Chains A and B, each alone.
Chain A
Amino acid sequence: MKHFAKLIRTIDSTNKTNEKVNALAEYFNIANDSDKLWAIAILSHRRPKRPVNTTLLREWATEQSGIPLWLFEESYHIVGDLAETIALILPKTTKESDKSLSQVIAEIISLREMDDASKKAYLHENWMNMSYYERFIFNKIITGGFRIGVSQKLMTRALSKSTGIDEDILAYKLMGDWTPVSTTYTQLIEEENPSDYLSKPYPFYLAYAVEDGFQESMGEISNWSFEHKWDGIRAQVILRNNEVFVWSRGEELVTDKYPEFQRFLDHIPNGTVLDGEILPFPDGRIGDFRDLQTRIGRKNISKNLLAKTPVILVAYDLLEWQGEDIRNKPFSFRRKILDAMIAKLNSESIGLFLSSTMRFEKWESAAEERKRSREKRSEGLMIKRIDSSYQVGRKKGDWWKWKVDPFTIDAVLTYAMRGHGRRANLYTDYTFGLWDNGELVTFAKAYSGLTDKELREIDAWIKKNTLERFGPVRSVTPHHVFEIAFEGIAKSSRHKSGVATRFPRILRWRRDKKIDEANTLSDLKDLIPK
């Protein structure tokens, strides 16, 4: 625990990626195998199940601090992070934990089985025997969501530095649904064990968004293949050894959520890995992303739901064929096999579609096609270099996304809430309203899109122009107009405005506009596709 706490403290004390990598590599050099394995697990968001619910956690921390519960809640609103709040408000100690990271986690796991009184006693004793950083980490492990400015990529780089194993190979080894309970450091990192690879996906290759005027630097347009960019769940469907495995981009094994793909088994040979998009397909046509949300959240997929919102796979790449990893072959080669395979099948009857490739002679023609995106239910175009290999992670150069311009509308700031994490203590989460019969009706919440300077300015304004406070939320005088962008729009009975928007965010602060120049709710409704 001491070493891990020191590591997190060091990472917390620098903004420089190289220093973070060095500190991590140093940790991997000195820690024992079980600590290393847990460190890797935690930093790749594989945490033990939460042994105590947060309500009890707050109560017990509050009790030990001798403060009233409401004061804890107020502090939590301001600090913005539960683990950090608890670490801060507990009485100070000068102690350090003498347990190892893996021992602490083993205890946290066994805590699940204990009764509440024993859980409480355990926490009270351990909180008072840890340094501030140990306490913070301990709480983070218990509450989950270990986000501390170390991405999985950065951790993989450090591990590569420490072990000498290639970064891409490590990324591959670290994928899948292993836990430190089901494997060991040696098995996971050091050993070559082909049977482990049965369900393993490949790291996804992700595209960068193009910038304005990108066409200039792309060279010959004949080097590029175009497709529509589908708005669903990025997924790999793996067929090996007469089994189907479905992985989402978040490295989550989601096979059970999409039983439709079991049909692939009778039609597609073993040793095939498809990369594509899972899309909702109600009434025989591509649906809205919101249809898919009814599927994402469910553990048990009822017959009813399957019938109402079936899904399909729109395949756009082939990563493995006849048991061979073909990611290093050119895109055109991979597509040739994929297209031929699908052509031979009556594939649409089993829910497998092909993302058609297009070639253009002029950028203007590509732009014309991009304009048709919304009617084709896509969110723009993908541009892929025809001889590109399938790379690991987000890399610039060979794959680009050229999204359609978002919808935009001018709305009035009506409520503000304190942010979390990096933005704790600043009012950064905003609610916006549109005019409807002389009243402002809430239509969206948004928080990203302002510069730090603008954030501080609007934060100061909010603090001075508060009408009412409701816990962490303040209503403010309607005064500022913001241009809000969003990706999708649909009717909704769940929203007061009757409209749901997808991924709303602030595009710009319209200081030039007065509130009576903001848009109306009926302007917004006009944007809903007919």
Chain B
Amino acid sequence: MKHPLLVFNEKGIYCQQADVYIDAWRAVDKCIVTHGHSDHSRWGHKRYITHRRNVPIIKHRLGDITVTPKEWNETFTINGVTFSLHPAGHITGSSQVRVEYKGEVWVFTGDYKVEDDGLAETFEPIKCQTFITECTFGLPAFKWEPQADVFTDINNWWATNKAEARTSVLFGYSLGKAQRLIKHLDTSIGKIYTHGAVEKMTQVIRAEYDLPPTELITRDSKKEDIAGNIVIAPPSAHGGIWIRKMLPYVTATASGWMAFRGARRRRAMDKGFVLSDHADWDGLLSAIKETGCEKVITTHGYTDIFSRYLREELGYDARTEKTQYEGELNEIETEKEEEA
């Protein structure tokens, strides 16, 4: 039997022919990295290959690393295997990886969403035979509203809070979600304040992308200046003493998990906005269809359920591979956002 072009081993997704890993979760010699979230870009690889716009992000997170930047659609060949990066629409600078060898094409999505969020480069469908897809939200219970509607809700919420003389504290992952929120907040309502982790990452991203002004909350920030404005903070800041400066405040989380009432109540949030950087059920199905693939490998999320659906209902040759990617889980479930 022919050796598969990409295999899943204990270190990551591996291309033996090119001796290169993609989004490895253990330290390896050469690794193509799809995007800057910590479960995809681990520390300790000898050489990183990633999209040019992801370089400052991973350098900010990982420090002094050896990294080769690539452009979208730029091909590079290693021992006969041709690689190229294509926008995944997940966060700024996030890629899918196309791998071609002797006419056989595989695509690994990393994390992705199909809706244009007005900030990250829009997801580009790539024809392939084997499609390795995430399925963080691979259940029919997840159906996103158009982004414009969600931001109308968010901005209305902010305006209402302001009218009631309360500060709006909105939680979202400091890389990706925070900048997407900042990009679409209506600054005619007030000012955007940030938590340290969000501010640092926003400054890194500002170099390449146009974002409205933000102001870091420091020890010297005055309570009365912040009052009525909006504060963007990572989920880990919820429940800490830091937030007392915002009193009286109202809290909300922007995450795909907020589609479930239970998830919001568990986090003791006032409000939940259903806003995700991952594809919803229909998004996943349309992305798969557009690749024209025959084989699907699901990597993280509701993998077993989703691949069963693809097999039994849609006739794909679909299976699951175990990885250590977390999807959007860390946005609500864990406290371990690194101090960026």
Would B268 and A81 count as touching, CB distance under 8 A? no
Q: A71-B309, A423-B266 are in contact. Are A65 and B140 (CB under 8 A)?
A: yes
Residue contact B305 to A71, C-beta cutoff 8 Å? yes
Q: Is B263 at the interface (CB under 8 A from chain A)? A: yes
What's the minimum C-beta distance from B307 to chain A, rounded to whole angstroms?
12
B148 within 8 A of A: no
Q: Identify the 9 closest CB pairs spanning chains A and B, nearest first.
A: A424-B262, A88-B141, A422-B265, A13-B271, A89-B140, A75-B141, A422-B266, A74-B305, A14-B270
B219 near A: Cβ within 8 Å? Answer: no
Closest chain A residue to B141, Cβ basis = A88
Question: In the complex, which of the residues B140, B143, B257, B269 has the most CB atoms of chain A within 10 Å of its own CB atom?
Answer: B140
Give 6 A-B contacts (CB < 8 Å), ordered by A residue.
A15-B270, A78-B139, A421-B261, A423-B262, A423-B266, A456-B333
Q: Determine the chain A residues whose CB is within 8 A of the CB of B309 once the complex forms.
A: 67-68, 71
Cβ–Cβ contact B263 & A425, under 8 A: yes
CB-CB under 8 A from B250, the residues of chain A are 14
Asked if B141 and A16 make an inter-chain contact with CB atoms under 8 angstroms apart, the answer reads: no
Q: Find chain A residues with CB under 8 A from B260 CB.
A: 79-80, 84, 424-425
**Interface extent on B, as a size class?**
20 to 34
Minimum CB distance partner of A148 in chain B = B261
Decide yes or no whether A426 CB sits under 8 A from chain B.
yes
Q: Would you give the shortest CB distance from B266 to chain A, in whole angstroms?
A: 5
Measured in the bound complex, the distance between the Cα atoms of B267 and A424 in whole Å is: 12
Main secondary structure of the interface of A (DSSP, over half): helix
Q: Does any Cβ of A come within 8 Å of B313's Cβ? A: yes
With contacts A75-B141, A85-B141, A453-B335 taken as known, whether A68 is within 8 angstroms of B312 at the C-beta atoms is yes
- Check: A12 CB closer than 8 A to any chain B CB: yes
Encoded as 1 (CB less than 8 Å from any A CB) or 0, chain B from 246 to 272 comes to 000011000001011111111011110
Residues from chain A with Cβ under 8 Å of B302 in the complex: 74, 78
Contacts of B79 in A (CB 8 A): none
B positions within 8 Å CB-CB of A: 139-143, 250-251, 257, 259-266, 268-271, 302, 305, 308-309, 312-313, 333-335
Q: Does A149 contact B (CB under 8 A)?
A: yes
Q: How many Å lie between the Cα of A74 and that of B304 in the bound state?
A: 10
Question: When the two chains form their complex, are residues A15 and B268 in contact, meaning their CB atoms are under 8 A apart?
Answer: yes
Of the candidates B139, B141, B143, the one having the most CB atoms from chain A within 10 angstroms of its own CB is: B141
Asked whether A115 is an interface residue with its Cβ less than 8 Å from the other chain, the reply is no
Provide the bound-state CA to CA distance between A156 and B264, in Å. Answer: 25
A12 touches B262 (CB 8 A): no
- Least CB distance from A420 to B in Å reads 7
Contact with B along A67-98 (1 / 0, CB 8 A): 11011101100111100110011001000000
Q: In the complex, what's the smallest C-beta–C-beta distance from A146 to chain B, in angstroms?
A: 13
Task: Contact check, B262 vs A80: say whether CB atoms are below 8 A apart.
Answer: yes
Q: Does A421 contact B262, Cβ atoms closer than 8 Å?
A: yes
Residues on B with C-beta less than 8 A from A65 are 140
The interface bits of chain A over 1-20 (1 if a CB of B lies within 8 angstroms of the residue's CB, else 0) are 00000000000111110000
* Chain A positions within 8 Å of B264 at CB level: 12
Inter-chain contact B140/A426, CB cutoff 8 Å:
no
User: Is A487 engaged at the interface, CB distance under 8 Å to the other chain?
Assistant: no
Partner of A88, one of B259, B265, B266, B334: B259
Task: Please report the C-alpha to C-alpha distance between residue A149 and residue B268 in the assembled complex, in whole angstroms.
Answer: 12
CB of A125 closer than 8 Å to a CB of B: no
Write out the residue numbers on chain A whose beta carbons fall within 8 Å of the beta carbon of B259.
Answer: 88
A106 shortest CB reach to chain B, Å:
27
Known contacts A79-B260, A420-B262, A424-B263; decide if A88 and B271 are in contact (CB<8 Å): no
Q: Which residues from A are CB-within-8-Å of B139?
A: 71, 74-75, 78
A72 to B312, CA, bound (A): 14
Shortest beta-carbon distance from A495 to chain B in Å: 30
Does chain B have a CB within 8 A of A452?
A: yes
Chain B residues with Cβ below 8 Å from A467 are: none
- Interface contacts beyond A67-B313, A74-B139, A420-B262: sample of 5 additional A-B pairs, CB < 8 Å, sorted by A: A15-B269, A79-B260, A424-B260, A425-B260, A460-B334
- How close is B278's CB to chain A, nearest CB, in angstroms? 15
Enumerate chain B residues within 8 angstroms of A424, measured Cβ to Cβ. 260, 262-263
Which parts of A268-323 form the interface with B (CB within 8 Å)? Answer: none
Contacts of A426 in B (CB 8 A): 266, 333
Residues in B with CB closer than 8 Å to A420 are 262
Q: Which residues of B contact A369 (CB under 8 A)?
A: none
Task: State the Cβ distance, B38 to closest chain A Cβ, in Å.
Answer: 15
